[in-house]
Structures are given as structure tokens and as C-alpha cells.
Amino acid sequence: MNRLAIELPGLSLKNPIMPASGCFGFGKEYARLYDLSKLGAIMIKATTLETRLGNPTPRVAETSSGMLNAIGLQNPGLEKVISDELVWLEQFDTPIIANVAGTLTEDYVEVAKHISKSKNVHALELNISCPNVKCGGITFGTDPSIAAELTAAVKAVSTVPVYVKLSPNVTDVGEIARAVEAAGADGITMINTLIGMRLDTRTGKPVIANGTGGLSGPAVKPVALRMVYEVAKQVSIPIIGMGGIANVDDVIDFMSAGASAVAVGTANFVDPFVCPTIIDQLPEKLDWLGLNHVSELTGRSHR
Amino acid sequence: MIQQERMRVISQKEIAKNIFEMTLSGQLVQEISSPGQFVHIRVSDSYEPLLRRPISIASINREAGQFTMIYRAEGRGTSLLSLKKTGDEVDVLGPLGNGFPLNEAKAGDTVVLVGGGIGVPPLYELSKRLVEIGAKPIHVLGFHSREVVFYEEKFRELGETHIVTVDGSLGQRGFVTTVLSELSKDFSMYFTCGPVQMLAAIQNMFPDKKGFLSFEERMGCGLGACFACVCKTTEQAEADYVKVCSDGPVFPAGVVQI
């Protein structure tokens, strides 16, 4: 028995650990360091219909135990992602979760329709929460009815299950979660980054060219954990939890709060081997907790 | 191949004001292939500060399994790094990036090496290698003032060396371009590393010369995955953009929009 295997809509995971979208590119850089087949899944960088060159630099700024980024969804566009990146990823025995972004509903629908047909794409992650683009992104993720409409539109064309990535930049994250569940979402991924700012103390001006950026890293973990805990109580679809996960104990916490699997984001930049390291450490942690299977962790906080 | 290793500090000393020279020992040294590559250093085992610091390699001693890097203690990260003592361990990821293309130079070539401030260190290993293949390096090294000048004698041992300071407290007064404008144009190519304004000025000064520029940018992962350090390219380039960490940090003159 594989103590780490998890079954989720569309996804048979060898283990519940996957790199988060935007923190792993399309895998090429990390494939030079370890075998990507070891991962539970890979959430690829957000894909838009057209090629995007992203925001001006500086795009990142370090903060206390975290970082701000405003990359701006830079990606080669749908066509190249399908013909180059996804085909290259076929060499690994790892399901791909394709992060889908856009400006208009039609953009999301178009990307979802085509990318969901790729052989190794087993699920979509609907990016309605990117804080760093002027249109689309977070505007879809802060209004429950708009989020629901988009979810339904994408569900109608996708050939694989659809997970919706929630923004923490809302008053009531549970309301959005319930809305997308009612609209047919197969799962939820959460959280995206928190909108933040860093100023140059000397000039008083923002360090990031975009002005604001998305905060990630260990600094956001308590916020993310609380939100996963909240949403787990309110929906019955599975949650892939993320937000500041950097070690195996963080994984235990997110799953206890209600996540069925987790994604590791910013920590990949600090320790590029963090995902395989956590995967290797999980069985020992389960022993320590007296658990047979990793799925027994899910929702411990609520029992 | 890129490795992550806890390397041992062999020595660390302040060689100019806030400028530190640190020698590290470990397996990773054998992987360094060209001068101009860099390492990504985690200065603390905690998450504060969180990100690694990219630092260029100043010299490599493959036989001893050691490399030396020179950095300026400026922010939180590099200040913490400057506190490391002989025998301490440092978490190093590297070698990263593509260095200066040594095969562009051949015996007998005169090669101009231009460095600005903390952009000077990678030129030292480069100069040593150029001397080894029989090329003749000429060094033009710019600093802010006398108190931050380093490696003057070491560069002089390798070839003609011009020091220039903004305030004139050592060597010529002015910028590297001041010296370059007086230098004979009879050289084969130039290699340069320093602030982007300096790189732009040099590139404009020698539009007909073969040149290679080493850039610096704020970095996240250092591997090419996070898209923090992208630069726009000119029509000369194949791609719309390049990543300084993994496509560079060294690029042929004219490729990056500056």
C-alpha cells in the first residue's frame, strides 16, 4: 500500500505534494535537479490565450519571512504551452494541473477548452485570483456571482475536472468558495497571494515597478491556514492547500485544517529540493503521528 | 551540474570598506565551468531573510576544491553573510548561469576588461584565464572612492591596470569611460561587468567591437523558474526576453535592451 497516494477528481496522486503555479515554471529548471516523476502533480505556470511578457522590473521584493511578486502572468501563450511545454512534460509520470488565466470570460473558456485536451493535463486550476494584472485575474475572484459564472462557463467546455484558485483578498472567502462549488467546481485550491507593498525607505516609492505585489512565503501561512480551515467547514469538494508551506510540518498543518493535498510555492525558490525532501519525510511524520495513511490527516482539526 | 551544498568557510576578510572576500570549500567547485558564473547563497537557515543572494565568483582553485567570492555587505542578507567565520557552513546553490565565453579570445589578442564597483570580482578569474591562453588583458576598474577599491595589485600582476574613482581619491578621477576614451582602440574585444548604466555607456562607445556584458538584476530562484530577472531584448535577439539568471548573466553586446 502506498501510504501517500491520494485520489482527487481527475487526479491519481502518488503523494499529496506538488509545486504551486508560478513557482515552478513549466518544470524544465527543476528537472535539471531531480526527477519530476517523484512529484504528486505539477501546477504549471498560468497560461493565457496570447503570449504575455509580464510587468516591468523590479518584479520581486523580499519582505519579512516572505516576498512580494508582480510578474504579471508572463507566459508563452496557449499554443506554445500545448505544443512545447506540455509535450516536454509528457516524459514524466506526473499529472499536470494547468493554471488557466485571462482577461475576459471568453479567454478563460478558450484556454480551458484547448488545454484540457492535452494528454497529461488531468485537471485545470482556474486563476481568478492573480493580483498583478490590470484586467481579469482577481476581478473574477472577489465577486461570488462573477466567480460562479466563470466557473460554470469553464466547466461547460473543460474535458477534465476544474479546480478554482481562491483569492485571500476578500472579506468572506467562504462565500466565494460556496459560490464556485454551487457552480460546479470539482475542487478548490487556496490561497493565492495577498496584495501587499514594500516602499524604498529613502525615496518613499514602491520597490516593485507595479507598485503592489502578491505576498507569499512563510509570512502568509497563518492567514492561509485559517482560510483553508474556514472553507473546509463550508464546502464538500476537496481543497488543495497552499500559502507559505516550506516543510513537512506545514504540510501536516494544512491537511489537518482540511486540505486533501498541498502545493509548495515560494519555498522552491529558497530550497529547490523542498518538494522531494518533504515527500521523503512524510512517512516518518505519519509514523510519529501514529497514522497509516496520509489521507487520515485531512480535517483532523475539525474532528 | 547545479548542486546544493553546505560549503565550509575557509576564510573571510574585509578587503575594503564593507567589501568582503570569502573563500569556500566543497565539491561544488568542480562544477564551475567558466568565469562569470555565480552562486546563490542562503545566508540563514531560518526564513529570515528568506531568499538566496546571488554572488559572483572571483576566483576558482579547482585543485584545492575552493572558490573565492567578493561581495559588498549592504543589506540584511550580505551583512549576515559577512559575520560568518572560518569553519562555519554556508548553504550554496550553484554554479548558476553562463559565464564569459573564453573561447572567443585567442593567444595574442588584446582584451579590455571593464569593471565597475562590485562588478569587478568576476573579471579577476576571467583575466587569469585569458593570461593562461596567452591573451593580453587590459583592466579598467572603476570605483566610487579609494576606500572601496580592492584587488588593484592582483590585477596589476596580470596586466595593464587603470584605476578610476568618481571622487579622484585613487587613480584617475571620473568614470571608466574617461579612461576608455583615452585608451588605444587597437583591441580585439571587451568584457565588462557592472551597473547597467556603465554597461550601456561602454556598449555605445564601441559599437563595432565584439563585446560581452555581465548583467545584474534582482533575482528570486536563480534557476530561471520565477521570471523575476527578465530583460527585454533588441531585434538582434531570437527571443522576446531573456532571464539574467539562466540565459545570462553574460550576454553578447547588443542583445539586451539597455
ipTM of the complex: 0.92
The secondary element (H helix, E strand) that includes residue B142 is strand B136-143
Q: Looking at the predicted structure, is the pLDDT value of residue B25 above 80?
A: yes
Q: Which three cell numbers stand for residue A184?
A: 460546479
Residue A235 has a pLDDT of: 98
| CB spacing of B51 vs A270 below 8 angstroms | yes
In terms of domains, do B115 and B69 share one? no
In terms of domains, do B237 and B181 share one? no
In terms of domains, do B88 and B171 share one? no
User: Which domains are assigned to chain A?
Assistant: 6-54+72-193+217-302 (3.20.20.70)
In terms of domains, do B43 and B62 share one? yes
- The pLDDT tens digits for A238-277 are 999 999 999 999 999 999 999 999 999 999 999 999 999 9
| CB spacing of B52 vs A57 below 8 angstroms | no
Distance CA A292, CA A203 (A): 56
CB < 8 Å to A51, chain B: 240
* pLDDT-above-70 percentage for chain B: 100
Distance from CA of B108 to the nearest CA of A (A): 38
| CATH code where residue B196 lies | 3.40.50.80
Distance CA B258, CA B254 (A): 9
| CB spacing of B246 vs A29 below 8 angstroms | yes
Residue of B nearest to A74 (CA): B227
Note which residues in 47-86 of chain B have CB less than 8 A from chain A.
Answer: 47-52
In the three-class reduction of DSSP (H, G, I as helix; E, B as strand; rest coil), residue A70 is classed as: coil
Distance CA A81, CA A47 (A): 7
What is the average pLDDT value for chain B, to the nearest integer? 96
- Give the mean model confidence (pLDDT) for residues B61-90: 96
Residue of A nearest to B217 (CA): A58
| Domain end call among B72, B96, B120 | B96
Report yes or no: A199 at the B interface, CB cutoff 8 Å: no
In terms of domains, do B207 and B228 share one? no
Of A65, A69, A272, the CB nearest to B47: A65
In terms of domains, do B186 and B223 share one? no
Distance from CA of A71 to the nearest CA of B (A): 7
Residue of A nearest to B246 (CA): A29
CB < 8 Å to A57, chain B: 217-218, 228-231
Please work out, in degrees rounded to the nearest 5, the angle formed at the alpha carbon of residue A214 by the alpha carbons of A209 and A218.
Answer: 130
Residue B157 pLDDT grade (very low, low, confident, very high; cuts 50, 70, 90) = very high
How many beta-carbon pairs below 8 A join chains A and B? 95
- Give, in order, the Cα–Cα distances in Å from B40 to each of A231, A276, B79: 38, 20, 15
Distance CA A139, CA A103 (A): 9
In terms of domains, do B151 and B133 share one? yes
Of A30, A74, A246, the CB nearest to B47: A246
Report yes or no: A200 at the B interface, CB cutoff 8 Å: no
ω before A191 within 30° of 0 (cis)?
yes
- The pLDDT tens digits for B170-228 are 999 999 999 999 999 999 999 999 999 999 999 999 999 999 999 988 899 999 999 99
Report yes or no: A65 at the B interface, CB cutoff 8 Å: yes
- Give, in order, the Cα–Cα distances in Å from A235 to each of A174, A187, A259, B217: 8, 9, 11, 43
Report yes or no: B243 at the A interface, CB cutoff 8 Å: no
| CATH code where residue B257 lies | 2.10.240.10
ω before B95 within 30° of 0 (cis)?
yes
In terms of domains, do B135 and B187 share one? yes
In terms of domains, do B169 and B194 share one? yes
In terms of domains, do B168 and B74 share one? no
- Give the mean model confidence (pLDDT) for residues B19-46: 96
In terms of domains, do B11 and B112 share one? no
Whether the Cβ atoms of residue A177 and residue A166 lie closer than 8 Å to each other: yes
Of B50, B222, B226, the CB nearest to A23: B226
- Give, in order, the Cα–Cα distances in Å from B119 to each of A252, B30, B70, B130, B202: 44, 23, 10, 18, 14
CB < 8 Å to B241, chain A: 53, 74
Q: Give how many domains chain B has, as a whole number.
A: 3
Note which residues in 212-231 of chain A have CB less than 8 A from chain B.
Answer: 217-218
Residue A132 has a pLDDT of: 67
Task: Name residues of chain A where pLDDT drops below 70.
Answer: 1, 132-137
| CATH code where residue B86 lies | 2.40.30.10
Give buried/exposed letters for A84-108 (b at 16+ CB in 10 A, else e).
ebbeebeebebbbbbbbbbbeeebb
In terms of domains, do B107 and B210 share one? yes
Could you give the residue numbers annotated as active site of A? 130
Residue B237 has a pLDDT of: 80
CB < 8 Å to B220, chain A: 60, 67, 69, 269
Report yes or no: B218 at the A interface, CB cutoff 8 Å: yes
Of B221, B230, B241, the CB nearest to A268: B221
Residue B258 has a pLDDT of: 87
Residues of the domain holding B229: 217-258
- Give the mean model confidence (pLDDT) for residues B57-62: 97
Q: Which three cell numbers stand for residue A59?
A: 518584479
- Give, in order, the Cα–Cα distances in Å from B118 to each of B35, B244, B246: 15, 17, 20
| CB spacing of B224 vs A25 below 8 angstroms | yes
Residue A1 has a pLDDT of: 67
